[in-house]
Amino acid sequence: MNFFGNNFRMPFSYKGAITFGLVYIPVTLTVAVRENDIGFNMLEKKTLSRIKYKKTCVDCGGRELSAGDIVKGYQYEKDRYIVFTDEDFEKIKSKKDSNITITAFVDMHEVDPIYFDRAFYVAPAGGERAYALLLRAMEQEGRAAVAKTVLGTRETLVVLRVRDGRMLANTLYFHDEIQTAPYIQVVESDKLDKTELSLAVSLIGNLSAKFEPDKYHDEYNERLRAAIDQKVAGLEIETPRERETAKIINIMDALKKSLEITSAN
């Protein structure tokens, strides 16, 4: 197995294998999602000089450290540490940890999206026939595969799924990583106004559509890029014009007005 970067949350390429039963399928994983964030540098206010953050040693008189000076330590008592090297982390991995080991095949609809973390494309790296058999069998049965592996220095839960004839992998959060939902007291259905409920259902109907992800794009990001161009050109940033909407406090009036607007569209 090959990693580029020890932190599995950073972009990386994975080369390993999917295993289930005695079947062994060499695969590669590549990141399926890229982020379009615009990066800003931290500057000193008056000189616009770049701000640097130095790594220093508490007990070394503030001496600045290089990457080669730094190791990973676990504090087992106050101010007492043991050091772990990359070799130590590798030693505790079993052969099973080095693979994506399938433990169960499940209905994908049973996997709550709250567990989803990152997405990857899964491609065969040899064993193409076995890869195709697994993919087609999962597709035919409408099943996803739950698996475990170790990425970097962390055991990770993975779900393998098939979409549009391609296999994808999503890393999942473990159940104990999911926060307990805050208590919210919801009004009982029989205590809701039936007319308001009917209007809300109608409004949902007016706004219902097929999910087409290519129709959505980051409008704020586009405005930010335009603002950067304006600043570079020495221009003032233009505030986007928006249609004023009347504030309606009464929920019945708000629903009726919303229905009028959505029906017209």
Q: What pLDDT is attached to residue 108?
A: 92
Domain boundary among 176, 208, 243: 176
Q: In this structure, are 227 and 164 located in the same domain? A: no
Q: In this structure, are 168 and 193 located in the same domain? A: no
**64 within some domain:** no
Q: What pLDDT is attached to residue 139?
A: 94
Q: In this structure, are 164 and 216 located in the same domain? A: no
Q: In this structure, are 170 and 193 located in the same domain? A: no
Residue 23 is encoded by which pair of tokens? Answer: 């079947």
Compute the half-sphere exposure of residue 125: CA atoms within 13 Å on the CB side of its CA: 16
Q: In this structure, are 100 and 225 located in the same domain? A: no
53 DSSP assignment? -
User: How far is residue 225 CA from its own chain's centroid?
Assistant: 24
Q: In this structure, are 114 and 232 located in the same domain? A: no
Three-class HEC string of 84-106: ECHHHHHHCCCCCCCCEEEEEEE
Q: In this structure, are 24 and 109 located in the same domain? A: yes
**150 within some domain:** yes
Q: What pLDDT is attached to residue 1?
A: 39
> Per-residue pLDDT for the chain (265 aa), expressed as one digit of tens each?
333 333 444 445 688 899 988 899 999 999 998 888 889 999 999 999 999 888 888 888 888 898 899 999 999 999 899 999 888 887 777 666 778 999 999 999 999 999 999 999 999 998 899 999 999 999 999 999 999 998 777 889 999 999 999 999 999 999 999 999 888 888 888 888 899 989 999 999 998 999 888 898 888 888 888 888 988 999 888 887 877 766 767 888 888 888 888 887 7
Count CB neighbours of 254 within 10 A: 16
Is the pTM higher than 0.95? The answer reads: no
Q: In this structure, are 105 and 196 located in the same domain? A: no
Q: In this structure, are 150 and 195 located in the same domain? A: no
CATH number for the domain spanning 148: value is 2.40.290.10
Q: In this structure, are 20 and 127 located in the same domain? A: yes
Q: In this structure, are 26 and 103 located in the same domain? A: yes
**81 within some domain:** no
Q: b/e map of 155-179 (b: 16 or more CB within 10 Å)?
A: ebbbbbbbeeeebbbbbbeeeeeee
Q: What pLDDT is attached to residue 12?
A: 52
**168 within some domain:** yes
Q: By the 8 A CB rule, do 70 and 81 touch?
A: no
Q: Distance between CA atoms of 13 and 17, rounded to whole angstroms?
A: 13
Residue 150: domain span: 13-35+92-176
Q: In this structure, are 116 and 230 located in the same domain? A: no
Domain count within the chain:
2
